[in-house]
Amino acid sequence: MSRAERLLDLMQKLRLYHYPVSGAVLASELGVSLRTLYRDIASLQAQGAQIEGEAGLGFVLRPGFTLPPLMFTIEEIEALALGAKWVADRADSSLGAAANHALSKIAAVLPAELRLELDSTALLIGPSLHPGVADETLRLIRAAIRQEIKLDLRYLDAKEQASSRVIWPCALAFFDQIRVVVAWCESRQAFRHFRVDRIQSVVCLDVCYPKRRQALLKAWREAEGIPARNR
């Protein structure tokens, strides 16, 4: 591995951690000595990377710094192409278009040989089996999640019983056959999961719910027994 590749790899490792990580851990993951790691961190700092911390305390990368040129491995290119195709096929039209636009921006700055790999990838997405859902419904739900706004639903459950719910949406899960909103339900005073194809109508209340989305997601994971991700 060249030094340039090692520096890019170090930047990527640091991006994965949202809290200070020790030099020993980074050196182990990169397969280099501590001395080499400290030298590489100093080099990145000299180029403008906001890496805070010091030996013995740990290091954390502040956002806002990238190293040109944009470089990806062949497998990273395949992952990006496959992910964009999945989103374009499974999400609403505006999110699908955004995935394609993002891929086009990446392609525009790739070296010619990597652009060819992106354009000619042999990884394909199978036919979608999920029930049809109106684009506007998914767009409204996604917007409410981003803005932390309450939604008023008219919902049909598995027994075809209709009910009205005011929810605090905090996540939207895309499965192969269904889409599910994770939300706090005011009437049930508990987290509930709502299949999007069973939502008969949805109205944005333009009222922010009283908790941050991250706090709701943390509470939902704890309620469901889902292990916390690295932070």
- Statement: residue 54 has pLDDT above 80: no
According to the 3-state scheme, what is the secondary structure of 13-63?
A: HHHHCCCCECHHHHHHHHCCCHHHHHHHHHHHHHCCCCEEEECCCEEEECC
Q: How many CB atoms lie under 10 A from the CB of residue 168?
A: 23
- One domain, residues 16 and 84: no
Instruction: Give the model's confidence band at 16: pLDDT under 50 very low, under 70 low, under 90 confident, else very high.
Output: confident
Instruction: Give the model's confidence band at 230: pLDDT under 50 very low, under 70 low, under 90 confident, else very high.
Output: very low
Query: Is the Cα torsion angle 100, 105, 108, 113 positive or negative in sign?
Result: negative
- One domain, residues 53 and 80: no
CATH number at residue 51: 1.10.10.10
CATH number at residue 188: 2.30.30.100
CA dihedral 186, 191, 197, 203 (to 10 degrees): 30
Query: Whole-number mean pLDDT of the chain?
Result: 87
pLDDT for 117 equals 82
- Statement: residue 131 has pLDDT above 80: no
pLDDT for 220 equals 95
Asked if residue 86 is part of any domain, the answer here is yes
pLDDT (average), residues 33-56:
87
- Alpha-helical (H) ranges within the chain are 3-16, 23-30, 34-46, 74-90, 93-108, 112-119, 135-147, 213-224
pLDDT for 90 equals 84
Instruction: Give the model's confidence band at 105: pLDDT under 50 very low, under 70 low, under 90 confident, else very high.
Output: confident
- One domain, residues 191 and 214: yes
- Statement: residue 154 has pLDDT above 70: yes
Closest CA to 170 of 188, 194, 206: 194
Range of the structural domain that residue 148 is part of: 135-224
The strand pair at 51-54 and 149-156 is best described as unpaired
Domain count, the chain: 3
Answer yes or no: pTM beyond 0.75: no
What percent of the chain lies above the pLDDT cut of 70?
92
